[in-house]
Amino acid sequence: MPDGPNEYVSTLCYDSLNGRLYAFGRFLEAGGQVVNGTTYMENEDWYPMGEGVENVFALSVMDAHLHNDSVMISGAFNALVGVPGTKRIALWNGSEWESIGGIGADGNAGGMLSNEDGWTVAGGYTEIGGVPSNGIARYHNGGWEDLCAYPDNSGYKVYTATARYQGQYVFGGNINGDFPDLHEIGTLENDSLRPMGLGILGDSWVNDLKVYDGKLFVGGEFYAGWGNPGSGIMTWDGENWSDPIPGVQCATQVFDMDVFDGRLYFSSYMLLPGSSDAYTLAMYTPGELCLFGKNLTAAMNAIAGVPGGLYVAPNYPDLVVDGVPLGVLAFYNISQGFDTCLTLPVSVGELNRTDGRRLHIHPNPNNGIFQVDLPNGFAAGTVAVYDALGNASRLTTQATGLKAGSLSIDLQDKVPGIYLVRICGSNGATCLATRVVVQ
């Protein structure tokens, strides 16, 4: 969009009530006007939001959350120009910036949520609005209150995403070994974060949380090879973690997610078995996954669903499609279709639940020789193993049944890494997939 922001966009959100697309980032101008990192588009025209952020830089604004006609922003900015008390957090009331609580926060603020309880903000701060805090606080009835006694500030933690699921607040980010019972994510019970199953394993990071189709979707940097059910994106149903897109590999982190018009959009680098093509965008609906943005030169750092399509902001300076530069912000019209769409049958979508419709690999990790246990009554027809680039590494001829309901696979001649095992039933109607780590 040549008339839009002139540099990197870090955050997007769409106000469906007023038809406004809000954009925040490192840019100084939009629509030919000085906007200092904060702007919105309405009826294809760009407008400033006051005088913007002081000393704009890449992570000035890290999150934005809409509530009615207002939008709250959080990040690492020191202040909005000419508006005191707006360090790290501020509220745009539709026409001007306001302070929330009069002082701001002493450290980066991240994930936000608004509801009848007020404004809930999580981050890496130790004080907000003049109130000591362990990084999770709420603004309600004109003042701030700390919500969390554990984890405290004795160890490292940074919260980047907030959601409300099944009546509880959920906070995700980077919570390291100083708090060993928590793995990057937890639910707030009374005044403490509590584990959600095993959490997210490995040296992981949560970028975003969205509630969709009765589940909590978690996007970030994590991989199946670290012991997780999925890579880049997983779901939590209140009891179990699952991979919502088995058979599709997120080769990098999921950068951003958005729910709009009954669809879940997310951005990453996604690979399909048997193909070296990489897809940067996905549209998920129950039972179907559509991929687009094939082999682009940039991943999408921020996305926002709008009527008719999706606005995307790449994490590199300029997005080029078919040789045409689209700038730092572009629009994808979904009426033009997708690169490919995949059916996600229930039997595949429920792979990681204990309902009998899953593959079980043991040992995992392994040295290249492993067993694959099949669900009761599942007759294997075709077996394939794919490497991280989607290339077929083993086909049916290398898998031999040792006993009823079990297969043995030998990958000792392959380089260590993460492989996808895909087994289709003898009738060809149902396929199951899971990942294995060869060391």
Residue ranges of the domains in the chain? Answer: 9-345, 359-438
> Which of left, alpha, beta for 73 (phi over 0: left; psi -120 to 50: alpha)?
beta
The residues facing 425 across adjacent strands are 380
Higher pLDDT, 391 or 377: 377
Higher pLDDT, 104 or 434: 104
pLDDT tens digits, 275-305: 889 999 999 998 889 999 998 878 899 999 9
**Distance between CA 154 and CA 139 in Å, rounded?**
24
Tell me the pTM: 0.78
How many residues in total does the chain contain? 439
Question: 306 and 313 in contact (C-beta within 8 Å)?
Answer: no
For the segment(s) 359-438, the CATH number from 2.30.33.40, 2.60.40.1930, 3.50.50.60, 1.10.10.60 is 2.60.40.1930
How far is Cα of residue 315 from the mean position of the Cα atoms in its chain?
15
**Distance between CA 241 and CA 287 in Å, rounded?**
18
Helical spans, DSSP H, in 126-255 = none
**Distance between CA 415 and CA 429 in Å, rounded?**
32
pLDDT tens digits, 385-427: 876 555 666 654 334 443 357 888 888 888 887 777 877 776 5
CATH topology of domain 9-345: Methylamine Dehydrogenase; Chain H (2.130.10)
Q: Which helix (H) or strand (E) holds 336?
A: none
The whole-number pLDDT of residue 427 equals: 58
pLDDT tens digits, 155-208: 888 899 999 999 999 999 998 767 888 899 999 999 999 999 999 999 899 999
Q: Does the N-terminal peptide bond of residue 365 adopt cis geometry, omega within 30 degrees of 0?
A: yes
Give the pLDDT band of residue 24 (cuts 50, 70, 90): very high
Which two three-digit tokens encode residue 128? Answer: 């907000």
**Distance between CA 307 and CA 285 in Å, rounded?**
16
Residue 28 CB neighbour total at 10 angstroms = 15
**Distance between CA 316 and CA 327 in Å, rounded?**
10
**Distance between CA 256 and CA 315 in Å, rounded?**
11
The whole-number pLDDT of residue 353 equals: 29
Q: Which of 201, 344, 356, 209 is nearest to 285 (CA)?
A: 344
The domains spanning 9-345 and 359-438 adopt the same CATH topology: no
Question: 128 and 80 in contact (C-beta within 8 Å)?
Answer: no
Question: How far, CA to CA in Å, does 311 sit from each of 251, 285, 315, 370, 439?
Answer: 22, 18, 13, 44, 40
